[in-house]
């Protein structure tokens, strides 16, 4: 049977790597059909080029590459060029970027076909056609080139997640994807990423999900979810799961059943998941008590802005009152809240930014142990409501894949962000980790710093930050002292 190569490019320079579940899921039906599947993950394989070239000598039918926007495009193009220069295999791109920008992706000379949205059924049908030498012109959910013209076929309907085949973990070394971290008890933990649903029913103007999943949410049954957790616990001694679903808590009845089954099966694991603010507000005390007992220790909640005006513009569909209610609820049941904020939206004023920092402080007042990461910077994605608004506000989108590949989402480069806004974003992102440290049992220098940061916060003193250099010097000498002691 023909060989299929599935490739996962580097996302960023990070030692923590999540499972390439997308590739594993599309590999499952191919394996069942009898095809030989090889997964190469550039993130964990330093000799990936040698492995790829060796596989290309065996004349694979196609090389499928899963591509996110930004740096993965750079590596995806490198791989695509390598495939074209060393084989007759078709180069097929799938993932977020080709799904959201299909025509521009196909304009690149090294890409033959793209799979749009879910690839579970689409790739299998495409491979079957290629293996039989048949035309793939009418395969749903793909885009392709023919005689210099680009064609985008109608989309395939979403799949039923309960009908997915078993994940072929044997294709990868699972151990390389397990993250070692401290369990809440202090014991060493083994954490793994897991997906139990797809899509999101909400309409956030900055999010790709509205376009990619058409505001439809689908989840696996509670029984299947718990069965998968149990298998991973038994086979790989996993003690913690990070649900990377777009919206794990969309169906609260399903979540309740998952928690009940975990307790019934006596599966003792820690659970981490993202959750909407308004979902927490819908949870009563019994529900919160249940999820805490079953293993939920941390929830990541997207607040985005403390400005009611901006929340309306970005269509977040939550209120400031709901945010504060959710913080109090999670504190009551000792569930850690990680509250995420975003800045740099078109139309956002400095006053809007200050309203956001005020909300950060209110969250810390309710629960000093709440976690608030550094501000994320809004970046326009194709297919989002704010993409066109960004263009109208002077942003010039990348014109080809190479420009998208070199587009750094960590850099502030939106034309409506002036120097003062840029400094506020930069300094708030740095200071937020010190906000209200005086409420914690820490050494006196930290408490003094916390008092000073709180003073800055109350008075919106964010533009100048000379003490950053002092803190960096202290941290540097502390590292030197610790290194000499060791």
The per-residue pLDDT for range 99-147, each reduced to its tens digit, is 999 999 999 999 999 999 999 999 999 999 999 999 999 999 999 999 9
Per-residue model confidence (pLDDT) at position 124: 98
Tell me the residue ranges of DSSP E strands in 205-278. Answer: 218-219, 240-243, 270-275
Average pLDDT, the chain: 92
Query: What letter does residue 230 receive in the DSSP assignment?
Result: H
Rounded Cα gap, residues 143 and 133, in angstroms: 18
Element spanning 424, H or E? helix 419-431
Helix axis angle, 419-431 to 444-459, nearest 10°: 150
Q: Is 305 helix (H, G, I), strand (E, B) or coil?
A: coil
Averaged pLDDT, 228-252 = 96
pLDDT of 320 higher than 60: yes
Question: Residue 286 and residue 252: Cα distance in Å, rounded?
Answer: 12
Instruction: Determine the average pLDDT of the residues in 275-289.
Output: 98
Hey, what long-range contacts does 127-135 have (CB within 8 A, 24 or more apart)? 127/2, 127/4, 127/30, 127/33, 127/35, 127/61, 127/62, 128/33, 130/2, 130/61, 130/62, 130/90, 131/1, 131/2, 131/35, 131/61
Q: Do domains 3-152 and 161-414 have the same CATH topology?
A: no
For Cα atoms 175, 177, 179, give the angle at the middle one, nearest 5 degrees: 95
Q: Is the pLDDT of residue 441 over 90?
A: no
pLDDT classification of 472: cutoffs 50, 70, 90: confident
Give the 3-state DSSP-derived string for 132-158, with helices as H, strands as E and coil as C.
Answer: CCCCCCCCCCEEEEECCEEEECCCCCC
CA 379, CA 382: separation in Å to the nearest integer?
Answer: 10
C-alpha separations of 88 from 8, 81, 427 in Å: 20, 12, 52
Q: What is the rounded distance in angstroms from the CA atom of residue 183 to the CA atom of residue 190?
A: 8
Other beta carbons less than 10 A from residue 285's beta carbon: 10
Residues 289-316, mean pLDDT to the nearest whole number: 97
User: Quick one: DSSP state of residue 376?
Assistant: E
Would you say 115 and 142 are in contact if contact means Cβ atoms under 8 Å apart?
yes
Residue 244 pLDDT class (50, 70, 90 cuts): very high
Provide the residue ranges of all domains of the chain, joining segments of one domain with +.
3-152, 161-414
Distance CA 299, CA 275 (A): 6
Q: Which of 198, 199, 204, 201 is nearest to 318 (CA)?
A: 204
CA distance 284 to 381: 36
Instruction: At 128, list the tokens.
Output: 């079957």
Q: Measuring CA to CA, which residue among 348, 341, 297, 343 is closest to residue 323? A: 341
Residue in 372, 368, 378 with CA at minimum distance from that of residue 360: 372
Q: Quick one: pLDDT at residue 464? A: 86
Enter the DSSP assignment of 416: T
Res 449: pLDDT = 79
- Of 64-68, 242-246, 303-307, 382-386, the range with the lowest mean pLDDT is 382-386
Q: Is the pLDDT of residue 318 over 90?
A: yes
| Distance from C-alpha of 84 to C-alpha of 6, rounded to nearest angstrom | 15
Q: How confident is the model at residue 438 (pLDDT cuts 50, 70, 90)?
A: low
For residue 184, give both structure tokens.
Answer: 């809440």
Q: What integer pLDDT is reported at residue 180 of this predicted model? A: 85
pLDDT of residue 360: 97
* Contact status, residue 427 vs residue 462, Cβ threshold 8 Å: yes
Which residues have C-beta within 8 Å of that of residue 13, sequence separation ≥ 6?
A: none
Mean pLDDT of all residues in 36-62: 96
pLDDT of 31 reads: 98
Q: 161-414 falls under which CATH superfamily?
A: tm_1862 like domain (3.80.30.20)
Q: Which carries the bigger pLDDT value, residue 180 or residue 266? A: 266
What's residue 466's pLDDT?
84
Mean pLDDT of all residues in 414-435 = 92
Rounded to whole angstroms, the maximal C-alpha distance in the chain is 73
Spatial CA neighbour of 246 closest among 96, 123, 346, 29: 96
Q: How many of the other CB atoms lie within 10 Å of CB of 260?
A: 14
Q: Residue 408: which region, alpha, beta or left (left: phi > 0; alpha: psi -120 to 50)?
A: beta
- Given a cut of 70, whether residue 412 has pLDDT beyond it is no
Torsion sign (Cα): 74, 97, 277, 205:
positive
Q: Are 83 and 91 in contact (CB under 8 A)?
A: yes
Residue 411's pLDDT band (cuts 50, 70, 90):
low
For the ranges 397-401, 469-473, 481-485, the maximum mean pLDDT occurs at 397-401
pLDDT band at 467 (very low <50, low <70, confident <90, very high): confident
Mean pLDDT of the region 247-254 = 97
**Given a cut of 80, is residue 404 above it in pLDDT?**
yes
In whole angstroms, give the CA distance from residue 285 to residue 291.
Answer: 10
CATH fold of the domain at 3-152:
Rossmann fold (3.40.50)
> What does the pLDDT read at residue 165?
95
* Res. 185: pLDDT tops 60: no
Question: What is the predicted pLDDT for the residue at 236?
Answer: 96
| pLDDT the model gives residue 484 | 73
- Listed in sequence order, the residues at least 6 apart from 326 whose beta carbon sits closer than 8 Å to its beta carbon are 277, 280, 281, 301, 337
pLDDT of residue 479: 76
The contacts of residue 114 (CB under 8 Å, 6+ apart) are: 92, 93, 94, 98, 99, 102, 105, 106, 142, 143, 144
- 239 touches 190 (CB < 8 A): yes
Q: What is the pLDDT of residue 476?
A: 73
pLDDT at 447 over 80: no
Contact status, residue 230 vs residue 265, Cβ threshold 8 Å: yes
């Amino acid at each position: 049977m023909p060989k299929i190569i599935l490739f996962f490019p580097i996302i960023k320079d990070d030692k923590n790597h999540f499972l390439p579940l997308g590739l594993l899921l599309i590999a499952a039906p191919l394996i069942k059909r009898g095809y030989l599947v090889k997964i190469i993950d550039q993130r964990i394989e330093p000799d990936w080029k040698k492995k790829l070239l060796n596989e290309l000598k065996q004349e694979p039918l196609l090389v499928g590459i899963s591509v996110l926007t930004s740096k993965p495009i750079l590596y995806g193009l490198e791989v695509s060029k390598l495939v074209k220069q060393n084989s007759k295999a078709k180069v097929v791109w799938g993932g977020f970027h080709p799904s959201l920008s299909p025509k521009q992706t196909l304009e690149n000379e090294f890409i033959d076909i793209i799979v749009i949205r879910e690839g579970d059924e689409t790739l299998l049908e495409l491979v079957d056609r290629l293996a039989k030498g048949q035309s793939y012109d009418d395969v749903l959910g793909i885009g392709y080139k023919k005689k210099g013209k680009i064609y985008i076929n109608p989309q395939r309907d979403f799949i039923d997640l309960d009908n997915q085949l078993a994940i072929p973990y044997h294709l990868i070394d699972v151990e390389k994807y397990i993250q070692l971290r401290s369990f809440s008890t202090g014991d060493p933990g083994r954490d793994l990423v897991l997906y139990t649903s797809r899509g999101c029913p909400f309409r956030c103007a900055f999010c790709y999900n509205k376009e990619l999943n058409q505001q439809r949410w689908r989840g696996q049954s509670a029984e299947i979810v718990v069965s998968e957790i149990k298998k991973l616990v038994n086979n790989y001694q996993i003690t913690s799961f990070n649900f990377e679903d777009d919206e794990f808590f969309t169906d609260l009845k399903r979540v309740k059943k998952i928690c009940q089954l975990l307790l019934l099966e006596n599966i003792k694991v820690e659970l981490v998941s993202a959750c909407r603010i308004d979902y927490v507000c819908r949870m009563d005390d019994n529900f919160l008590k249940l999820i805490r007992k079953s293993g939920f220790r941390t929830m990541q909640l997207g607040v985005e802005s403390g400005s009611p005006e901006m929340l309306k513009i970005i269509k977040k569909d939550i209120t400031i009152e709901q945010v504060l209610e959710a913080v109090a609820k999670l504190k009551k049941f000792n569930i850690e809240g990680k509250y995420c904020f975003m800045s740099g939206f078109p139309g956002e004023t400095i006053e809007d930014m200050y309203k956001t920092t005020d909300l950060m402080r209110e969250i810390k007042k309710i629960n000093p142990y709440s976690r608030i990461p550094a501000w994320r910077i809004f970046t326009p994605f194709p297919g989002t409501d704010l993409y066109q608004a960004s263009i109208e506000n002077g942003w010039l989108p990348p014109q080809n894949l190479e420009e998208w590949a070199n587009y750094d989402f960590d850099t502030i480069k939106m034309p409506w962000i002036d120097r003062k806004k840029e400094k506020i974003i930069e300094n708030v992102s740095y200071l937020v980790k010190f906000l209200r440290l005086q409420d914690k049992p820490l050494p006196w220098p930290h408490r003094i710093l916390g008092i000073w940061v709180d003073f800055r916060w109350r008075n919106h003193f964010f533009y100048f930050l000379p003490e950053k250099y002092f803190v960096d010097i202290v941290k540097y000498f502390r590292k030197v002292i610790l290194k000499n002691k060791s």
